[in-house]
A = this chain, B = another copy of it.
């Protein structure tokens, strides 16, 4: 069965060819921006990789910046945190699952690491996106830490929002170490970090 046959039919059938083109362009942009950053990534390289013209990209996304926004909105890594944690146990396990999923997707992790670093500049077009994203993730993780403390799967201690900042930081930082050295086991290192802060893990790996 071909990809075309298995593709879900859109209610807006006539737009499918355009969407297919957008998909191919977004895949190419993801690869180019992950490698060269947004500022270092050249639209012509995206076009070449996608097998379309630069004008075709402008037609679909308006500008290089529009392409970046579409890419970020398409798959917000923050959404990986999933629904608000209901139980403290689920929260810790949810973080471990997230690290495990990320460890299977170096391209996406590199894209976000590179963009987040260059977007710390206030005039970067993704600056506000990353500020909002970190604020959202920070709030979700703080809620999760509080739930985990309530469920006694995390001990009391420093303010929950500071523990949350540390958890987000350690996930980001371990990704850098893993991207630099793919033999580095970030799943195991994250588990060690969870144990070091007194988290109760569900297994004895």
> When A37-B37, A158-B192 are in contact, do A131 and B165 touch as well, CB less than 8 Å?
no
State the copy count for this chain. Answer: 2
Whether B174 lies near A165 (C-beta < 8 A) is: yes
CB distance from A153 to the nearest CB of B (A): 14
Whether a CB of chain B sits under 8 angstroms from the CB of A83 is no
Interface size on A, residues (CB 8 A): 52
Interfacial chain B residues near A159, Cβ < 8 Å: 192
Q: Tell me if A's interface is mostly helix, strand, loop or mixed.
A: helix
Whether a CB of chain B sits under 8 angstroms from the CB of A44 is no
Whether A36 lies near B39 (C-beta < 8 A) is: yes
Whether B196 lies near A166 (C-beta < 8 A) is: yes
Give 12 CB contacts A-B under 8 Å: A35-B121, A37-B114, A37-B118, A40-B41, A40-B118, A157-B192, A158-B195, A159-B192, A166-B190, A169-B169, A169-B174, A196-B198
